[in-house]
Amino acid sequence: MKGGNAVTTMHGGDVEGYRRAYGRAPLDFSANVSPLGLPEGVRRAAAQALAAAGEYPDPLCRALSEAIAAHAGAAPAQVLCGAGAADLIYRLAAALRPRRALLTAPAFSEYEAALRAAACAPEFFLLRPEDGFALTERWLDALTPGVELAVLCQPNNPTGRTVPPALLRRALDRCRDCGAVLLMDECFVPLLDEPERCSLLPRLAEYPNLVVLRAFTKTYAMAGLRLGCALCADEGLLGRMRAAGPPWPVSNVAQAAGIAALRETAYVEALRALIARERPRLRAGLERAGMTVLGGEANFLFFRSPDAALGARLRARGVMVRDCADYRGLGPGYYRAAVRTAPENDALLRALNGGIG
Amino acid sequence: MKGGNAVTTMHGGDVEGYRRAYGRAPLDFSANVSPLGLPEGVRRAAAQALAAAGEYPDPLCRALSEAIAAHAGAAPAQVLCGAGAADLIYRLAAALRPRRALLTAPAFSEYEAALRAAACAPEFFLLRPEDGFALTERWLDALTPGVELAVLCQPNNPTGRTVPPALLRRALDRCRDCGAVLLMDECFVPLLDEPERCSLLPRLAEYPNLVVLRAFTKTYAMAGLRLGCALCADEGLLGRMRAAGPPWPVSNVAQAAGIAALRETAYVEALRALIARERPRLRAGLERAGMTVLGGEANFLFFRSPDAALGARLRARGVMVRDCADYRGLGPGYYRAAVRTAPENDALLRALNGGIG
C-alpha cells in the first residue's frame, strides 16, 4: 500500500487507507465520532464561509473564542483554539517543554508523541487490568514533585473509564501542590450521561495550573474540519501555546462551523439520547458474541476478544474497529468500537458473528 | 480592541481586526492573495467535501500528495502537505532543531518565529537598501560551515526581489557543501512572469538538502482554508517533519480544494495576465503619488513613502496596506501592497491621494 507509515496504524479513522486496500468504503467504528453527521446548521455555516476563503482566517479566532467562552462560562481570553485537540496537545508540550511529564497507559498516543517532539521522555502510570483499567489513588503517589505536566483523559481513551469527581479534585490539588500543569482532556465529556458532574471546567479560575481540552470533532461530527480548544485561566501559558505553532491554526471554515455548532443543542440532545439507547444494546451484543466489555461511558466501548485477529477479520467483512494492540500498556485482543446508529450497530454485531457488516 | 496581541500586528490580512476597529470591511492590499476569489471548481469541491466532514481527514493526504507530485514532476513520497506554508516552516524547524540557521532580513517573520520556537536564535543576512534589497554574492560568504538551515524566499517577501538563477544554483551548492538544508520558499513563484526560470523544483532529486515550499493560499485565494506543501527528495526529513506536529494537519475540505485547484489552469493564466497588466499600472500610480517603488515581480509591490503614518491614514480611508515598519531590517516608511483588480487598484491610488478608497 502506497504512503503507508506509522501514522496509518496508530489511529482509528483511516478511511482512505481502507478504501485503498479494499476498493470500497468501510463502516467505521474505529473513530469515536457522532454517527449523526455534520449538523445541517453547521454545514450551511461552513459552506457560506467558503465565500470568504480568500481572506486569511482570523489568527486569534476572536468570534469563535467569544462563543466558546460564553458556552463554557469562561472569559474569551481563557480560550485558545486549534486545529483539533491534537494541535493544542503539541502546542502545550512545546510551550512547556517539561523535563518530567506523567501520562497514563493506555491513553491517546498523541500525548506521548507531542512530548517526544518536545524532547521529553514521559513517565507512565500503568492502568491495571485488575483495576478494570480505572484510575486509582495510586496515581496521586506517582505524581511526585518535579513532574511539570500530567495528562488525564475523561473518560479515558481507549478504556472508557471516567475518573470519579472526588479523585479528580484530589488530582488537581496534588498537581497544584507539586507545581505541575494538569492537562485534562475532556474531548468526550459532552457525550457522557452526566457531563457537568465529570468536567473540571468550573474549576478553571481556582486552578491556573489546569488546562481543559475540548474538541468539536466527536460531538458534532466535525473530524474532517479540525477544530478544538484549550481553556485555561493562565493567559500567559495560552500565549506561549499560541506562539509555539503557526499563527493561523484554524481555517475560516472551521471557525464558522464552530460558532454554528455551539447553537446545535437539539442535535447534541438527540445524539446523547441515541448513545444512551444504543450503548447498552451494543454492549449486550458484544458480550453475546463472546467479548468481555471492560468500559465505556461515552460514545465508545472498550472490550477484549479471545480472537487477536478479530480486527483484520472485521475489516475483511467491511467493518473497521480500533485494534488497540499498539497502545502502550495493552496488547493483542483489545479493541475499541464507537457507538453508532441502531442499523450500524446491528451491522457490527452481524460482522462479529461472521456475517458481512 | 479585544484580544489584540503581537500576532495581529505582525501579519497582513487581519481583516477581523479591521472590522472590529472600524465597523466595516476594508479593501485589503495587506495580504498578497489572488483578487479573483476562490475558483468556482475549488469552491464546489470544498462544499462537496463537507459531506465527509464526519470522517477524519486522510492524515497522509494521499490523493492530494499524488496530485501535487504529478503537477510538480516529483514522486508522491517527496511531498508533505501542511496547514499552509507556515505549518511546514514550524515542522521543519522542529524536525531539524538547528544550532545555527541563516535567514535574510527583511523576510517573512515566521521563519524566525518557528526557529525561536525550536530554541534556535537565527543569524541574519541583512539585505541592504544600497543593493535595492537584492540578495547578492555576499550571502554565499555568510553561509559558513556549521549553519544547518538556510532560508531563502523567491521572490523575497516583502521586498519583491527575485534571486537570479545563477546565484540560486551557487547558493544550493554552497548549502550542500556546508551540510546545510536550504528551505526555498516559493510561495510566490507561480505568480512570477517566468515561474519555471525561478524555481528550484527541477533540482529536487539532485539536492536532497533542498526543501521547496509551495502554498495554495496566494495563487488560488485559499488563505482561509490553510494548505501548503513541502517538496524534498530526503524522505527521512519529510517523515521527521510529519512527526514534529499533529497527525491530521490538513482538513478534508482543504485536501479536496487542493486537488481541485491544481486543475484550474485557466484561472491561473487569467490571474497572471491580470498581474502583468495591473502591476506596472499600480507601480506607476504609486510613483506618481510620491512613493519610491523598490521591488515587486510577483503580485505585490514594495515601496517607500515619505509619510511614516501612511498605513494608518489609509486604514482610516478604508484601505489596508502592509506597514513593514515591524520587519527586522526595515523601519518606518516601508510598505507592501498586493496587486489587485483594476477598480481595486484605482481605489488604492485614490486613497493614497487623499480620497476614500
Taking alpha carbons only, the member of B18, B12, B41 closest to residue B261 is: B41
**Closest chain B C-alpha to A307 CA, distance in angstroms:** 27
Establish if A213 belongs to a structural domain.
Answer: yes
Establish if A4 belongs to a structural domain.
Answer: no
- Whether B76 sits inside 8 A of A5 (CB atoms) is no
Is residue A357 very low, low, confident or very high in pLDDT (cuts 50, 70, 90)?
Answer: low
Statement to judge: residues A201 and A140 lie in one domain: yes
- Whether B242 sits inside 8 A of A7 (CB atoms) is yes
Averaged pLDDT, B341-354: 96
Total domains in chain A come to 2
- Choose the closest CB to A56 out of B65, B83, B223: B223
Tell me, yes or no, if A246 comes closer than 8 A to chain B by beta carbon.
yes
Averaged pLDDT, A142-170: 96
- Whether B84 sits inside 8 A of A246 (CB atoms) is yes
Residue B8 has pLDDT above 70, yes or no: no
Residue A3 has pLDDT above 70, yes or no: no
How far does Cα B57 stand from its chain's mean position?
A: 25
- Choose the closest CB to A251 out of B3, B246, B254: B254
β-pairing, A181-185 vs B334-338, is: unpaired
How far does Cα A313 stand from its chain's mean position?
A: 26
**Closest chain A C-alpha to B313 CA, distance in angstroms:** 22
Statement to judge: residues B214 and B277 lie in one domain: no
**What is the H or E stretch that residue B180 is in?**
none
Q: Report the pLDDT value the prediction gives residue B151, as an integer from 0 to 100.
A: 98
Is residue A354 very low, low, confident or very high in pLDDT (cuts 50, 70, 90)?
Answer: confident
What percentage of chain A exceeds 90 in pLDDT? 95
Position with higher pLDDT, A167 vs B354: A167
Tell me, yes or no, if B76 comes closer than 8 A to chain A by beta carbon.
yes
Domain termination site, one of A261, A283, A304? A261
Tell me, yes or no, if A216 comes closer than 8 A to chain B by beta carbon.
no
- Whether B50 sits inside 8 A of A62 (CB atoms) is no
CATH number for B304: 3.90.1150.10
User: Would you tell me which residues 297-316 of chain A have a C-beta closer than 8 angstroms to some C-beta of chain B?
Assistant: none
Q: Report the pLDDT value the prediction gives residue B1, as an integer from 0 to 100.
A: 30
Tell me, yes or no, if B246 comes closer than 8 A to chain A by beta carbon.
yes
Tell me, yes or no, if A91 comes closer than 8 A to chain B by beta carbon.
no
The residue of chain A with its CA nearest to that of B76 is A3
A&B contacts, CB < 8 Å? 224
Is residue B269 very low, low, confident or very high in pLDDT (cuts 50, 70, 90)?
Answer: very high
Q: Report the pLDDT value the prediction gives residue A337, as an integer from 0 to 100.
A: 98
Statement to judge: residues B223 and B120 lie in one domain: yes
Residues in chain A with CB shorter than 8 Å from the CB of B222 are 53-54
Residue A148 has pLDDT above 50, yes or no: yes
Establish if B203 belongs to a structural domain.
Answer: yes
Tally of residues, chain B: 357
How confident is the model over A19-62, as pLDDT tens digits?
A: 999 999 999 999 999 999 999 999 999 999 999 999 999 999 99
What percentage of chain B exceeds 90 in pLDDT? 95
Tell me, yes or no, if B15 comes closer than 8 A to chain A by beta carbon.
yes
Residue B354 has pLDDT above 80, yes or no: yes
How confident is the model over B181-221, as pLDDT tens digits?
A: 999 999 999 999 999 999 999 999 999 999 999 999 999 99
Tell me, yes or no, if B70 comes closer than 8 A to chain A by beta carbon.
no
Tell me, yes or no, if B40 comes closer than 8 A to chain A by beta carbon.
no
Statement to judge: residues B224 and B300 lie in one domain: no
- Choose the closest CB to A54 out of B94, B224, B226: B224
Q: Report the pLDDT value the prediction gives residue B231, as an integer from 0 to 100.
A: 98
Interface with chain B: mutation pick from A241, A248, A250, highest number of B CBs within 10 Å: A248
Q: Report the pLDDT value the prediction gives residue A356, as an integer from 0 to 100.
A: 67
Interface with chain B: mutation pick from A44, A58, A81, A90, highest number of B CBs within 10 Å: A58
Tell me, yes or no, if A14 comes closer than 8 A to chain B by beta carbon.
yes
Is residue A159 very low, low, confident or very high in pLDDT (cuts 50, 70, 90)?
Answer: very high
- Whether A16 sits inside 8 A of B63 (CB atoms) is yes
Q: Write down the mean pLDDT value for chain A.
A: 95
Q: Report the pLDDT value the prediction gives residue B357, as an integer from 0 to 100.
A: 64
Statement to judge: residues B269 and B224 lie in one domain: no
Q: Which three cell numbers stand for residue B237?
A: 526529513
Residues in chain A with CB shorter than 8 Å from the CB of B50 are 38, 43, 46-47
Residue A4 has pLDDT above 90, yes or no: no
Q: Report the pLDDT value the prediction gives residue B9, as an integer from 0 to 100.
A: 44
Establish if B7 belongs to a structural domain.
Answer: no
- Choose the closest CB to B54 out of A10, A33, A84: A33
Residue pair B125/B329 in contact (Cβ under 8 Å)? The answer is no
Interface with chain B: mutation pick from A226, A267, A340, A344, highest number of B CBs within 10 Å: A226
Tell me, yes or no, if A249 comes closer than 8 A to chain B by beta carbon.
yes
Establish if B2 belongs to a structural domain.
Answer: no
Tell me, yes or no, if A32 comes closer than 8 A to chain B by beta carbon.
no
Q: Write down the mean pLDDT value for chain B.
A: 95
Averaged pLDDT, A326-353: 97
Establish if A327 belongs to a structural domain.
Answer: yes
**Closest chain B C-alpha to A96 CA, distance in angstroms:** 11
Position with higher pLDDT, B9 vs B83: B83
How confident is the model over B240-250, as pLDDT tens digits?
A: 999 999 999 99
CATH number for B60: 3.40.640.10
Statement to judge: residues A273 and A229 lie in one domain: no
Domain termination site, one of A261, A296, A327? A261
Supply the ipTM of this predicted assembly. Answer: 0.95
- Whether A54 sits inside 8 A of B76 (CB atoms) is no
Residue A1 has pLDDT above 90, yes or no: no
Tell me, yes or no, if B318 comes closer than 8 A to chain A by beta carbon.
no
Establish if B190 belongs to a structural domain.
Answer: yes
What are the E-state strand segments in chain B? 27-28, 79-82, 101-105, 123-126, 149-153, 181-185, 210-215, 228-231, 292-295, 300-304, 319-320, 322-323, 334-338
Statement to judge: residues B145 and B190 lie in one domain: yes
The residue of chain A with its CA nearest to that of B48 is A47
The residue of chain A with its CA nearest to that of B17 is A58
Statement to judge: residues B129 and B246 lie in one domain: yes
Establish if B239 belongs to a structural domain.
Answer: yes
Statement to judge: residues B225 and B105 lie in one domain: yes
User: Would you tell me which residues 269-288 of chain B have a C-beta closer than 8 angstroms to some C-beta of chain A?
Assistant: none
**Closest chain B C-alpha to A65 CA, distance in angstroms:** 10
Residues in chain A with CB shorter than 8 Å from the CB of B7 are 59-60, 242, 247
The residue of chain A with its CA nearest to that of B37 is A54
Statement to judge: residues B189 and B327 lie in one domain: no
Q: Report the pLDDT value the prediction gives residue A260, as an integer from 0 to 100.
A: 98
**Closest chain A C-alpha to B167 CA, distance in angstroms:** 30
The domain in which residue A238 lies consists of 40-261
What percentage of chain A exceeds 70 in pLDDT? 97
Domain termination site, one of A207, A237, A261? A261
Averaged pLDDT, A246-267: 98
Statement to judge: residues B66 and B82 lie in one domain: yes
Is residue B178 very low, low, confident or very high in pLDDT (cuts 50, 70, 90)?
Answer: very high
**Closest chain A C-alpha to B205 CA, distance in angstroms:** 19
- Whether A76 sits inside 8 A of B3 (CB atoms) is yes
| pTM metric for this prediction | 0.96
Averaged pLDDT, B35-61: 97
Statement to judge: residues B28 and B86 lie in one domain: no
Residue A7 has pLDDT above 80, yes or no: no
